[in-house]
Structure 1
Amino acid sequence: MKIKAYLNKNQFHKAPLSCLDWSNNEEIYSVSDDHQICKWSSVLRENVEIAKLPEDFIPTDLHWTVSKSGGKGGGDSLLISSNDGRFIILNKSARLERSIAAHTMSITSGRWSPDGASLLTASEDGIIKIWSRSGMLRSTVIQSDESIRCARWSGNSQSIAFCQNGYILVKSLAANSKLTKWRAHDGLILSLSWSPTLNLIASSGEDLRYKIWDQQGVNIYISQTSDYVITSVEFSPNQDLLAVGGFNVLKLCSSNGWSYNNCRFNSPPLGSIYNIIWSPDGTQVATGSSSGNLVFGHLFDHQLYSKNLKVKTTGRKSIFLKDIVSGSTDVLDFPDRIINLALNYGHLVVATPNQIHIFNENYINTPIIVDGRSDTKILELGKKFFLAVDFSSIWIYSYTGRLHLNPRFPGSQAQIQNVIKRLISIGLDVLAVRDSSDTSVIYIFDLMPGASRQVEPLAINTKTHVLEVATCRSGAPEDQYLVYIDVNRELFIISTKGGNDETPQKIGTQVMSVMWGSATNILVGLHDNCYSIWYCPKESSNDQILLALTTITHESSEFGKNVALESFESAVITFCSSGALFTINVNIYCEIMHHCLIAGQWQKALNICRIAQSTVLWATLAAYASKHNQLEIGEEAYSAALQIDKVDYLQYIRSLPPGGPEQMAENSLMLGRLIEAETILIHNKKVKEAIALCIRMHNWRRALDIAEKSQINLDVVLIERAKYLQALGKEEFDTRFLKIEK
């Protein structure tokens, strides 16, 4: 990824340009000490004077409201703050809507909230105030004696970050919340940015560095000392990118801090760069300078790899495609600029401002074009369908260009602005999306034609806030799973099919990010200084010993710091660190065995394990065999994995009538599915056996319920309950049993 920057030759401001913002994806509004409000078009490269401010109004900040249509229609309210403590609100036609005296000293930051419902003003008088959209004062959030240099909203509009001297402070708007404060720079902090997608904070200051933090003040990255002061930092709204500005230089960095490339402006000198701004679609950047010039830039050299295909954007409207195996190349030109692209499963999908282009690798010159999809911010490809998210809705398309589903859930229209890539995932037959208003709820949509969950999704309620979701991308239709990472960085897995006894199972801790394999249900997760591979995550989740046997953890320190997951195709996992790509292979025997298990080729899978003689393989086969009632294969696999207790239990299960309800129930019980085992017995009119099962599990109330309802073995339940209490040395305490005894 690189950025190509242009210096606008037609300088239209005579004073330093520090106040500018995109009103939509094509237009930039700017104002400086010369009091002129100007509009510049990135398409026409022309500048138009819109209005002129009063002579006594010296602007210090400018910000447009976030457009509800993603920037195409543009924001409808322009906020401009001044050095005398006033701020004004203008409409799209530059007509004055409000003029309010907010502070006694200069306003350093005036910002609309990401949801557009309110605005904040921060001033040199040490006060931060929250105002309504119409300009009514709601609250005074911060009152201090030190001046505030900069303030920014969090992505969910629930917190504010601001800086005083060399300190960064984070204040939640929740009642009775505490202030988080940490020393960030040795000198004065000049700029702040809070990423809406990653929840990271970037800062720059007079100590010639820029730094990246999480919201608790933990340092993620510290840059090398620059030759000059770093005057501006800004995260991209949709991508994991950070723009950094200094004296005569504009730098594009990863959100982890390392640099992609630098754009230098030495001839003619540009001066210090102020107030970097990204377009709403995250593909263009603009900034003002101390010389009054406007700098415009766009992204290019975005590279994607999938098996034998390599794709690279070579300009705003062109893509270079290469088949690495055959050596053939092609150039794809588009009528509009490229704002997003994705490559996988033999297809390349490219989004422009008004269209989506679908290319098949075998028919690259005859794309399928979908019209009417504007400003697509998320593209994710699945095996059967692909996902496109714009600023109005979520869309599921087939690779023939047919609209398959437009999923909606309660409040989805209002939440679509907050949907980011980590919170939505498309699998083989399902779509998962986290609710933005209630962050502990995940909605599961079924993509199978005619399924009821296309209209009424399954809601999975978790105990804590969810930070990331991922659905498996392959496997058999009955083996479809969802994993999610909660706020405590714990990894949970659950079946997407739902069920009475389906509860999330914890399979990992301190997990930063996860990714499913493209061809198998193998999962890779990244920790701080290592990575883990779960070869059988769901089938072994009920058994901690089996889970440990099928999970391999390796150190990632050899890759460097700030490692990120790039892709997981077939048996190859790709990591990215400081711009370099590192690949590792999962156990190839396990990869082949997974394909055999999906196809139901149990004997081949067994032969692979006998050849490889790996504990991971045997444990994986044992977990799959137990789930699919392959008792003989499971017995051999458990024996090879040295799980002797499981072998004894399987021998007992095999002694039961083959294919009978007792055998099926015992097998479900071995997998930890108590409700399923009980249901099998009751549906097959094995009531006595169901009661005995509940007694074995010490589920006394359920045993009593079944006995009372069927009027069978009530005395047996009471006798066994008495023996149980006598063994514990306790008296009866359950009110239901006490009533029966009376």
Structure 2
Amino acid sequence: MSSLCMVWSYALEKPHTGSVFSLAWSADGTQLAGACGNGHVIFAHVVEQRWDAKNWNTPLIFDLKEGSVSLILQTERHFLLVDGAGIYVYSYEGRLVSTPKCPGMRTDILNAQTVSLSNDTIAIRDKTDEKVIFLLDALTGKALGDGKPLTHKMEVMEIALDQCGMSTDRKIALIDKNRDLYLTSVRRFGREQKISKIGTMVHTMAWNDSANILCGIQDDSFTVWYYPNAVFIDRDLLPKTLFTKDASEFSRAPHILNYVGTQVSVRRGDGSLVYSSVSPYPALLHEYSGSARWDDALRLCRFAKDQTLWACLAAMAMANKELTTAEVAYAAIGEVDKVQYINSIKDLPSKESSLAHTLLFSGHLQEAESTLLQAGLVYQAIQVHINLYNWDRQKFLQDFGKKETNKRFLQYSEGVEVDWEKIQAKVEMELAKERERAATTSVRSSMASRR
């Protein structure tokens, strides 16, 4: 006989296996194994939970237009409900927040894989064209930005919005027909949508409820992307921010139900529930980064002695323009060239040039150029393009005795008179103005601090 108790008995089973000589719980306390007298081993798992609290409020009851509810999604601030009549967003006080609508929407085919909800955004995959994802404001139900939906190059099978952070930084993860995992920003601000691949052969995924950490089952491994946003900051860092382990315990056709705290709930193909634990340190690092507690973040990484955490911190620091912390983190993972580049950024005389080269570090060439031009640093903007493009073509033409055929190059080479003395004088003038402006800014800031 085996009995599950906590002060009083919750469940009682009498298996026909003889006496139970030994019992052992799994690490997460949800599964039980017992060694029996007839040589059998019994297995059990907790199928129900009992919640006990002293501050339950009186439940709010409100009528629905149609009672056939097919889907409920929850976030911290509100929940989404789907029935035969439409989609509704309610607050937890029972107040109707919005009624989102999409062209050609059919509520009877919506499910948790084709609809996603965050505190400020709703994402719905189009049924007519499965490459299209509608992005809506959760508070108004209207389309975000210019109203244009997100369009992928291939049919989308599953979508998921991250749950934390500001609405301007909201990200959406999607799995397409090839089982490739992509990440992109929800809000574009007039820029071209940049969709970056972060995984392959991904069958199911889920975002953490308290930090922007993504987990998924990738081929035959369970993978956690501790900082998926690294793909937009320093793509080389992304593989170093991953945690992977064997996924054989999940059996065939598993589906991730949720990722709450440090525990991932997975439904196996046979219907049973399996739980997997994830390190609490990455979520803590996200918390420190979000509140600009960089000293605490450094102490955490030194305590944990984990290269994955150092890689996450390097990307987080660069995303927040925290160069000193980024320098320490890159040094910890042996990225010497990037440490040298960060040092060169710190030595730049003005904030504008420093910001531009930080943007350049993350591959944002257009934004870096705009920053320099707005500050009047034309020479530096030109120099950025010179450093990025391949100027070996001139040597190639000279070695093979060929002539330039680029029409634009020929046009400007004939129509523009090159006076190197004037060019050098303008360069020196711009550099002098930048140093003077940086010195003036430094004096003003020191006077303000004294006051």
TM-score bracket, normalised by the shorter chain, equals 0.7 to 0.9
Rounded to whole Å, the distance in 1 between the matches of 2:283 and 2:408 is: 53
Q: Structure 1 501/456 Cα, relative in aligned 2: closer, same or farther at 3 Å?
A: closer
1:383 is displaced (CA, Å) by 1.7
Rounded to whole Å, the distance in 1 between the matches of 2:395 and 2:82 is: 57
- The one of 75, 89, 93 equivalent to 1:400 is 93
Work out whether residues 223 and 243 of structure 2, in 8 Å CA contact, stay in contact via their aligned partners in 1: yes
1:455 is displaced (CA, Å) by 8.5
1:600 is displaced (CA, Å) by 2.5
Partner residue, 1:548: 239
Partner residue, 1:498: 188
Rounded to whole Å, the distance in 2 between the matches of 1:367 and 1:727 is: 81
Work out whether residues 65 and 85 of structure 2, in 8 Å CA contact, stay in contact via their aligned partners in 1: no
Alignment of 1:317-716 (within 5 A): 322-323=50-51, 326=52, 362-412=55-105, 415-447=106-138, 453=143, 457-499=147-189, 500-541=191-232, 543-577=234-268, 578-657=270-349, 660-698=351-389
**Aligned length in residues:** 366
Rounded to whole Å, the distance in 2 between the matches of 1:470 and 1:648 is: 37
SS of residue matched to 1:666: helix
Per-residue Cα deviation, 1:480-507 (whole angstroms, up to 9, x for no partner) = 2101011111000011121415410000
1:367 is displaced (CA, Å) by 2.2
SS of residue matched to 1:695: helix
- State the TM-score, normalizing by the size of structure 2: 0.74
Rounded to whole Å, the distance in 2 between the matches of 1:680 and 1:455 is: 23
Read off the aligned partner of 2:115 and give its amino acid letter: I
Rounded to whole Å, the distance in 2 between the matches of 1:600 and 1:518 is: 20
SS of residue matched to 2:101: coil
Partner residue, 2:25: none
1:542 is displaced (CA, Å) by 5.4
Rounded to whole Å, the distance in 2 between the matches of 1:741 and 1:417 is: 64
Read off the aligned partner of 2:338 and give its amino acid letter: K
SS of residue matched to 1:669: helix
Per-residue Cα deviation, 1:548-571 (whole angstroms, up to 9, x for no partner) = 100122111133233221220011
Alignment of 1:137-216 (within 5 A): none
Q: Structure 1 728/596 Cα, relative in aligned 2: closer, same or farther at 3 Å?
A: farther
Rounded to whole Å, the distance in 1 between the matches of 2:151 and 2:213 is: 25
Rounded to whole Å, the distance in 2 between the matches of 1:599 and 1:496 is: 23
1:401 is displaced (CA, Å) by 1.9
Work out whether residues 232 and 362 of structure 2, in 8 Å CA contact, stay in contact via their aligned partners in 1: no
**Structure 2: gaps of 5 or more residues:** 1-45, 415-451
1:304 is displaced (CA, Å) by 9.0
Per-residue Cα deviation, 1:103-140 (whole angstroms, up to 9, x for no partner) = xxxxxxxxxxxxxxxxxxxxxxxxxxxxxxxxxxxxxx
Rounded to whole Å, the distance in 2 between the matches of 1:416 and 1:725 is: 61
1:666 is displaced (CA, Å) by 0.8
Read off the aligned partner of 1:374 and give its amino acid letter: G
Q: Structure 1 362/692 Cα, relative in aligned 2: closer, same or farther at 3 Å?
A: farther
Read off the aligned partner of 1:388 and give its amino acid letter: L
Work out whether residues 532 and 553 of structure 1, in 8 Å CA contact, stay in contact via their aligned partners in 2: yes
Read off the aligned partner of 1:533 and give its amino acid letter: V
Rounded to whole Å, the distance in 2 between the matches of 1:650 and 1:448 is: 41
1:724 is displaced (CA, Å) by 7.2
Partner residue, 1:736: 408
Q: Cα RMSD over matched residues?
A: 2.7
Identity of aligned residues (%): 29
Read off the aligned partner of 1:466 and give its amino acid letter: V
Rounded to whole Å, the distance in 1 between the matches of 2:302 and 2:290 is: 19
Work out whether residues 370 and 401 of structure 1, in 8 Å CA contact, stay in contact via their aligned partners in 2: no
1:477 is displaced (CA, Å) by 3.9
Rounded to whole Å, the distance in 2 between the matches of 1:386 and 1:728 is: 68
Work out whether residues 665 and 678 of structure 1, in 8 Å CA contact, stay in contact via their aligned partners in 2: yes
Rounded to whole Å, the distance in 1 between the matches of 2:121 and 2:70 is: 20
Per-residue Cα deviation, 1:613-668 (whole angstroms, up to 9, x for no partner) = 1101100010010010000000001111111111111111111135x111111111
Per-residue Cα deviation, 1:161-186 (whole angstroms, up to 9, x for no partner) = xxxxxxxxxxxxxxxxxxxxxxxxxx
Q: Which structure has the greater CA radius of gyration?
A: 1
As a proportion of its length, which structure holds more strand?
1
Rounded to whole Å, the distance in 2 between the matches of 1:679 and 1:657 is: 18
Alignment of 1:89-128 (within 5 A): none
Work out whether residues 428 and 472 of structure 1, in 8 Å CA contact, stay in contact via their aligned partners in 2: no
SS of residue matched to 1:365: coil
Work out whether residues 501 and 675 of structure 1, in 8 Å CA contact, stay in contact via their aligned partners in 2: no
Per-residue Cα deviation, 1:7-34 (whole angstroms, up to 9, x for no partner) = xxxxxxxxxxxxxxxxxxxxxxxxxxxx
SS of residue matched to 1:626: helix
Alignment of 1:1-12 (within 5 A): none
- State the TM-score, normalizing by the size of structure 1: 0.46
